[in-house]
């Protein structure tokens, strides 16, 4: 897999949490060493929910800071704001013309949002076309995403194949890299951690408020002295992700032996969380204090991204008869 071009995007739609970190951010950042990575903040996509302008700007900055604090290396990875490469909109229009309406009508994410009462604006409907343009604009080979994005990647492949059938082998047909195996990270209540379920632990929480969240995690009512099943416990599920293998084993034995209350496991998890993110938390504070540095990183990323975007778009324009 060495040397592939990897691309992924994340919407700036709320505070990033441990589910995002272990499910997406950490695996994406691990790919930086051996691949040419393009990661971007999908702020055009976030507009489909019509956030307040100040909020959209703030969340975009927050995601940038979070990724940099977590270890995104801008000297290797091209990191940018989607809207700084407006070429994506032109490609989106062009490929929209080979996209059957039925393909978009079948998208679960669109149907789910309508079912939840969101008004169907055109942006929401054509969301997968813009996502396809994001991917195809950079001749991306691999697109690491969560399971929820699988259908959008199938749409992307379908669009690329249709385009190539019509105009010749112009677009690279990408391979999905679905994180099926990555456990769904549980939230405070044991169901999938998600900002929509109000059960998140933020990556960079600090102090009393976040400690209380850990202490409020839902567990079963096995009495303190009884043995407990670690594999059924969401506290243990998170501990496994954060602690070292030896510590995980030790904790597993303490569950099985009985005599340990859940409060103890929660405190141990909280301590590990504090320690695990300590350095990143400090780095984050430094970045927040230097917004111009973050801005420089994003601008430089956009310049690098735009060169590739321009070349693809020129190739596409020539192929379809626009140039
Ligand atoms: P949310 O569910 O909080 O709205 P998003 O849908 O914005 O999160 O997810 C952004 C990325 O993080 C996606 O790639 C998604 O697969 C991943 N992700 C989100 N929540 C979890 C979780 N609980 N476990 C594993 N991965 C997750
Ligand atoms: N739709 C993705 C999500 O909500 C974000 C995204 C936009 C994306 N464009 C992309 C992901 C291109 C991968 C590739 O998570």
Quick check: is 172 in a domain?
A: yes
Nearest CA to 188 among 216, 229, 222? Answer: 216
- Specify whether the CB–CB gap between 115 and 76 falls below 8 A: no
Q: Domain check: are 254 and 122 in the same one?
A: no
The CATH code of the domain that includes 130 is: 3.40.50.620
**Ligand 1 touching residue 264 (CB < 6 A):** no
**Ligand 2 touching residue 130 (CB < 6 A):** no
Residue nearest atom 6 in ligand 2 by C-alpha distance: 9
The pLDDT value given to residue 182 = 64
Q: How many C-beta neighbours within 10 Å does residue 219 have?
A: 17
Q: Domain check: are 234 and 270 in the same one?
A: yes
Q: What is the pLDDT of residues 124-180, one digit of tens each?
A: 999 999 999 999 999 999 998 888 899 999 999 999 999 999 999 999 999 988 876
Distance 233 CA to ligand 2 centre (A): 31
Specify whether 208 is catalytic: no
Q: What is the pLDDT of residues 187-202, one digit of tens each?
A: 999 999 998 899 999 9
Active-site residue, from 113, 228, 240, 266: 113
- Specify whether the CB–CB gap between 201 and 237 falls below 8 A: no
Domain count, the chain: 2
Q: Which single residue is written with the structure tokens 């909280």?
A: 270
Q: Which domain holds residue 214?
A: 205-276
Total-model pTM: 0.93
**Ligand 2 touching residue 20 (CB < 6 A):** no
Quick check: is 314 in a domain?
A: yes
**Ligand 2 touching residue 24 (CB < 6 A):** no
Specify whether 232 is catalytic: no
Specify whether 285 is catalytic: no
Active-site residue, from 4, 147, 150, 195: 195
């Amino acid at each position: 897999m060495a040397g592939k071009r990897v691309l992924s995007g994340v919407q700036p739609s709320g505070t990033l949490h441990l589910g995002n970190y272990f499910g997406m951010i950490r695996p994406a950042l691990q790919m930086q060493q051996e691949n040419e990575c393009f990661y971007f903040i999908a702020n055009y996509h976030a507009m489909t929910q019509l956030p307040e302008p100040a909020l959209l700007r703030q969340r975009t900055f927050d995601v940038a800071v979070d990724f940099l604090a977590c270890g995104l290396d801008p000297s290797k990875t091209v990191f940018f704001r989607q809207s700084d490469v407006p070429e994506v909109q032109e490609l989106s229009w062009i490929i929209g013309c080979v996209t059957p309406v039925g393909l978009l009508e079948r998208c679960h994410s669109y149907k789910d949002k309508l079912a939840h009462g969101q008004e169907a604006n055109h942006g929401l409907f054509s969301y997968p076309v813009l996502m396809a343009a994001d991917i195809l604009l950079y001749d991306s080979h691999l697109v690491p995403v969560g399971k929820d994005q699988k259908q959008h990647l199938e749409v992307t492949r379908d669009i690329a194949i249709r385009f190539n059938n019509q105009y010749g082998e112009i677009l690279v047909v990408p391979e999905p890299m679905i994180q099926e195996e990555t456990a769904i990270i549980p939230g405070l209540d044991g169901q999938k951690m998600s900002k929509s379920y109000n059960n998140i632990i933020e990556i960079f929480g600090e102090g009393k408020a976040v400690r209380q969240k850990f202490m409020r995690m839902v567990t079963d009512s096995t009495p303190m002295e009884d043995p407990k099943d670690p594999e059924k416990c969401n506290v243990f599920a998170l501990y496994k992700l954060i602690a070292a293998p030896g510590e995980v084993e030790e904790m597993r034995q303490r569950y099985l032996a009985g005599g340990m209350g859940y409060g103890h496991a929660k405190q141990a998890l909280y301590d590990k969380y504090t320690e695990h993110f300590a350095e990143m938390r400090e780095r984050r504070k430094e970045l927040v204090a230097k917004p111009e540095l973050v801005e420089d990183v994003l601008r430089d990323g956009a310049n690098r991204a735009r060169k590739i975007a321009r070349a693809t778009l020129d190739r596409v324009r020539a192929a379809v008869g626009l140039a």
